[in-house]
Structure 1
Amino acid sequence: MHPFTYHSAGTVLEAVQAAARGARYIAGGTTLVDLMRETVERPDDVVDISSLPLNKIHTAGNGILRIGSLVTMAEAAAHPAVRDLYPVISQALEASASAQLRNMATIGGNLLQRTRCSYFRDVSADCNKRRPGSGCAARGGYNRMHAILGTSASCVAAHASDLAVALVALDAVVRLHGKDGERLLPLAELLLQPGSTPHREHALEPGELIMRVEVPEHPGRLASGYLKVRDRQSYEFALTSTAVALHVTGGRITTARVAAGGVGTVPWRLKAVEDALTGRRPSPGLWSEAARHATRGARPLTHNRFKLPLLTRTVERQLTEIGGTL
């Protein structure tokens, strides 16, 4: 492990100032410590933020939900308001990692976790995320777990967070605190597609800290849920996943939010599926028709072409499941 200095921040301002000078934030440490052991990450300074007062969950208004960035995944999944208002969040969290990791890992850390691409984690392999300009070994290598949406010539790594998929489907935003104060940023804009700069994974300014995640007010109570398809039922990353949130008024779908995981370089909003649903009357035929739009724009690789039909079937299955509760 690369030598580093460590200190604990007593205030948000202290943490932000340290990070603005180049220190890395650490809380649960379930991702960063692993990457430091593998020498993928080599920070010179680490600032512990686990004692900051960012570990509360609040609700207000018509479905407004605020989750502090230091709330653990297990705490968020078990919270009565989360389970009642947005089961898609609790289901996504419970489908993530192991129980031990969920007890340690934080909401903020989960959103900013780095890819599980095996070439990224192998320091002997070419990887533009880890060493810009070196190439992407995954494109010509074994790429079964890699992305088919949002890829580029520089990177095909899939984003690993289940939670982020659920939150993108709910139009969630993150409240950030940096050296210039606070700002709100849509979660869909926080995580960046690779393009020609895959080493730039998020839109945070130097030193910015995620304070909390906010799910905004919706026009009516949403029926929601998360489905994850994987090689085994525990402690495994998604081959595909789907988060669905629907609201019906007067017998027609007035709000349709659908996002996919395991297939995108970022949590992937399926806008074409949403458009096919909005304004229509729920029916089995509609779920099948809308799901056929899920793979629009996909660019499969040598070993992950199976994700095309799998994603379509996953979306249809979850639309059918949630549609049956309307």
Structure 2
Amino acid sequence: MSDSAERLRALEAALGPAVVASVLEGSFAGRDAAVAVLEEMLAVKVAAEGAAAAGDIADVDVRVARMRARGAYAWASEAELRAALEACGGDLDAAEQLLLCLLEERDEASGKPPGRRRRRADDSVLVAAGGRTLSTLRHPHWRPRASYALCASEAPRGPSDDDQTTLSLSPLSSRSVPVPPDLRAIDDVQTLRSLAYQLMRRQRDYARLAAAAGGGAHGRGNSAQAARQVGSRLDAVEERLAQVLCADPHWHELDLHGLRLDKALLVMERRLAQAQAAMEASGQGVCRVRVIVGRGLHSDKQSNRMLPRVRAHLQCRGVRVHTDAHAGTLVVTLKR
């Protein structure tokens, strides 16, 4: 048996077969590089034995090791990898986007051309974790393509247990979507959500038909046109649902079912603005808002992709947020 195989068996016994397989699967830098990463993980695990958060540390270590094993982040320190993962709630895709933004910023600082992407004042996000700050100069993919309504009154930072950032909330600006009369007559939230889910399924079906048409330009064009029409109707239903949700006087709870990510973030910011205004008018010092995101049962892949992005969005704005005991629910804490 070779030395490499013996080392892998020892690492499997210490770290578990699942961890070893995960790192080997994500490694594009070769078997030896993966073994070196696993040995670093073992050293961290040994040093962390007896710590109360050993389970969390191991989970973060697996993700950091997978990113390191891909060989694309040799320029980033381990603290930066951990900070990006923390800020994005462990979402590897969002963390990688943040790191790409950080790399672009470093290239620009060193005199390299920044590329063609336009930069605007509201394109920067500050993520603070572990005493380090990542400053990104372009949109991570989970951010909406619209101006933010939620702006921290100081440089956003990761909220601690004893402190919540005071928020300065400005009016929303988003793309205006006309709502036809038949939808304006609907005030029932559940009816609008049912319509939205039906249209989402139809849009996905037409998109699959267009993809399956392959070289058949006529069939592909018809399916794509039908998908666009369904998409326009879905935009209108989503806009009406947002209007009804924002008109609800019960701001202590917000249910985002039936909304896609961009619209869900805009509605959440408007509701948080209403919650903060109500809190200040009543003279209260702290208020909590339950944000129901869901478990992803209506998504195309049956996975909850919205919750980590909503949580990362709030954390990047310096808002204190934690996961509720009920699956798919976040609790947001605002302070005067």
- Bucket of the pairwise TM-score, normalised by the shorter protein: under 0.3
Could you say which structure has the higher helix fraction? 2
- Rg comparison, structure with higher value: 2
Alignment TM-score, normalising by the size of structure 1: 0.22
Q: Which has the higher contact order (CA 8 A, sep 6+)?
A: 1
Could you say which structure has the higher strand fraction? 1
Alignment TM-score, normalising by the size of structure 2: 0.22
